[in-house]
Amino acid sequence: MKTRQQGVSLIGFLFILMIVGFFAFMAMKLFPPYYHYFGVVRGMQELSKEDLSGKSRGEIRQDFMFKLNFQYADQEIKPGDIHFEQRNGATTFRVSYDKRVHFIYNIDFLLHFEKSVPLNGSVD
């Protein structure tokens, strides 16, 4: 009785290794922007827990940028990315920005990040 050998050949193994390597390289390129985004989210959550009564929007923006400095995400956010929205007497703090990540040759990833949190207190 003849038996066939089962398993992955060398060429098949190299093909699988190339695919895994491609996705690992993609993950290495995309990890830092998402890590910075989660730092932005942590800073926004800290800001939403504070009582901001009587503070101006400029002071809130400055406090937020200070919090981002501790999260190592302060280079990602520009002052124009920070928005305040007033609805039904409540103020919402929104950060929206785009990040372009070079991948290979002429291929880039364009990542869009957006997060909103309600603010406590009356904001001027």
pLDDT in tens, 90-112: 888 999 999 999 999 999 999 99
- Over 70: is that where the pLDDT of 124 sits? no
Q: Mean pLDDT, to the nearest integer, of 84-92?
A: 84
Could you tell me the sign of the dihedral formed by the alpha carbons of 56, 62, 68, 70, in that order?
Answer: negative
Q: What is the pLDDT of residue 79?
A: 81
Domain assignment present for residue 2? The answer is no
What is the span of the domain harbouring residue 52? 10-118
User: Does residue 80 belong to any structural domain of this protein?
Assistant: yes
83 within a domain of the structure (yes/no): yes
Q: Is 20 exposed, middle or buried, given 0-12, 13-18 or 19+ CB atoms closer than 10 A? A: exposed
81 falls within a domain:
yes
Q: Give the chain's domain count.
A: 1
In a domain, 74, yes or no: yes
